[in-house]
Chains A and B, each alone.
Chain A
Amino acid sequence: MHTHDPDLVRDIAARAQEMRIDALKMVFQARSGHLGGAFSAAEITAALMFHHLRLNPDQPEWEDRDRLLFSKGHACAILYSAMARRGFFPREELGTFRCLDSRLQGHPDRLKLKGIEIPAGPLGHGVAVGAGIALALRMDSSKPSAWSAPSARASRAKVYVLLGDGEINAGIVWEGAMLASKYRLGNLTAIVDCNGIQQTGATADVMPTEPIMDKWKAFGWHPQEVNGHDVRQILEALDLADEVHARPSVIMARTTKGKGVSFMEYDHRWHGGVPNRQEFERAIEELQKGLESCRN
């Protein structure tokens, strides 16, 4: 397996922490938004956006780009920050989050903001839509047969879906999982941000989904499990997923909801909670400290 440069790993971890700070400011300023699931997804999003995905921010609709389907749309503050820092739009625009006339809608809007692949927010769509995209990309790359449309294009593009562990309560996720498995979509990878907490409590109480690795396996997917805050593990799992060609891959990323801010961690009230001034300042301070330790 390819080993990743320690500098790269450190750099991605630092970017993830910077993204948390951006997201915190955005939600504080907008007086609304979702921090808990944004913080849990920071390293995964950073690993994809700053290293793994083949993207061109200057050509967001480049046909052969890798697709990131941010299915847990409520956590989009972290995605917007990553996109801005990756060069899709100016960072100043992050201050318009959830404001009228902004491209940064409360949940992602693919028409307003180029680079957003799918509208998301109503949970559960990513896997099924991703299967559709993966099918289309494979049709374009397969050899023309007597029956199919001639196509000279050969797409190397891959599809990555980021979803939450509460999200997999939705039946459509499993309909999509079956479809991807039926068509052996090796160009599709799902990353489940398993932070263990959903809107009203622990996933284990709201709707138990364990043993979750067994479920994906039974649906025909290639499963891996990583620490979702360990950048090296995330990068290695993504590399391995790309090597699985005959079936879709899933990476169960074990994470902490509210990661990085002590009083937000493991607390479902920070799913959609908005910090007051005092909480905001305390959170910034903790995140800054975390950022410094990433850099050392």
Chain B
Amino acid sequence: MSELVSMRIAYGQALVEVGRKYPDVVVLSADVANSDHSYLFQESFPDRFINVGIAEQCLVDAAAGLAYAGKIPIANTFAFLFATRALEMIRTHLCYGSANVKLMGAYAGLSDSFDGPTHHSINDVAVLRSLPNMTVLVPSDAVCLTKLMPQAVEWPGPVYMRLNRNEVPVLFDERYEPRIGKAVRLRTGKDVTLVSNGLMVSRCLEAADRLRQAGIQAEVLEMHTVKPLDSETLLESAKETHALVTVEEHSEIGGLGGAVAEAVSGICPVPILRVGVPDCFAESGPYSEVLDRFGLSIERIVGMAQQAIQRKSSGRFLHDRGAP
């Protein structure tokens, strides 16, 4: 098992780093700085930290105002609040008005597991990626997060970054160089492609190991950028393996799975199976057990990969029979 690192601490440190590097960065919080660790920035740059209170709509609108006046605001609250409570502000000002605001969605997915479904965020990617001009990032580990942060700051226009609350396995070392909009091929394989982001990348790597023991070569793509989606790498892989499985800590409706299906289905129609949280609210409980219970176990990834491989065989059969 690889080393575990807290995403929250890594985030707070990354925030201080970008604060040092970019004088126009200001940080806003809806009074959760000790949860998401943006208090580290507050300690370093008190004059550039704004606590708007428990007012997420105001958080986004005030950030938009700062952006309209040339600052690079980084707004912080829980992921579900951005995607649901403050959505109209995001649409109108960040996306339509092109306010250069970076949204940091803390405690995303099921990672605030004990607090329960009111605090889980399993629709944010679907909601936010449907907005024109939005960029959606889901870092897989602390290294990825740390390396994407300055890129998010420099990226022209609004960015939504989805952050895990907990300690997650370190997947990468310093040689890893993620680029916004570019998928990373972590494993090569010819039988099936696992497309994933966030914590689920580590589960996909474990699933790929198990599949190998069963003689199946699974390709693993880290899709840390859901929008703009790297459809080039995706199609390349689809043409090679003819079977895709998307794996994400998000509803199986409209997230990475939806994005992949949209990009692939019209050009290279191969079976695409989606591993995500079924269309329901989860429950409180220990993180790993909640993940397992609500559709995200390694066993399920393995099973879906096998199913995808079976479907492509039967699909090919049907195609052959239909051919003249």
**Stretch with Cβ within 8 A of A (4 or more), from B41-49, B227-235, B295-303:** B41-49
Contacts of A118 in B (CB 8 A): 64, 68, 93, 97
**Stretch with Cβ within 8 A of A (4 or more), from B6-14, B51-59, B160-168, B247-255:** B51-59
Task: Name the residue on A nearest B56 (C-beta).
Answer: A175
Chain A: number of interface residues, binned into ranges: 35 or more
Flag if B48 contacts A148 (CB, 8 Å).
yes
Contacts of A182 in B (CB 8 A): 53
Q: Which of B45, B46, B52, B70 contacts A63 (CB 8 A)?
A: B70
**Stretch with Cβ within 8 A of B (4 or more), from A8-16, A121-129, A204-212, A257-265:** A121-129
Contacts of A175 in B (CB 8 A): 52-53, 55, 57-58, 61
Q: Smallest distance from the beta carbon of B21 to chain A beta carbons, Å?
A: 11
Q: Smallest distance from the beta carbon of B23 to chain A beta carbons, Å?
A: 3
Bound-state CA distance A172–B55 (Å) is 8
Q: Which of A133, A147, A149, A151 contacts B69 (CB 8 A)?
A: A133
Interface centre among A121, A122, A149, by most chain B C-beta atoms within 10 angstroms, is: A149
Flag if B47 contacts A145 (CB, 8 Å).
yes
Q: List 18 A-B contacts (CB under 8 A).
A: A110-B68, A110-B98, A119-B97, A125-B61, A125-B93, A128-B61, A128-B62, A129-B65, A131-B58, A131-B61, A131-B65, A132-B62, A132-B73, A134-B65, A137-B69, A145-B47, A150-B23, A172-B89
Task: Name the residue on B nearest A134 (C-beta).
Answer: B65
| Chain A residues within 8 Å of B, Cβ to Cβ | 63, 109-111, 117-119, 121-122, 125, 128-137, 139-140, 142, 145, 147-151, 171-172, 175-176, 178-179, 182-183
Interface centre among A117, A128, A147, A172, by most chain B C-beta atoms within 10 angstroms, is: A128
Q: Which of A119, A130, A149, A178 contacts B65 (CB 8 A)?
A: A130
Bound-state CA distance A111–B92 (Å) is 12
Bound-state CA distance A141–B96 (Å) is 29
Interface membership of B66, Cβ < 8 A? yes
Task: Name the residue on A nearest B88 (C-beta).
Answer: A122
Q: Which of A109, A111, A135, A142 contacts B50 (CB 8 A)?
A: A135
What per-residue 1/0 map shows which CB atoms of B20-42 lie under 8 Å from chain A?
00011010000000000000000
Task: Name the residue on A nearest B86 (C-beta).
Answer: A172
Interface membership of B312, Cβ < 8 A? no
Flag if B23 contacts A129 (CB, 8 Å).
no
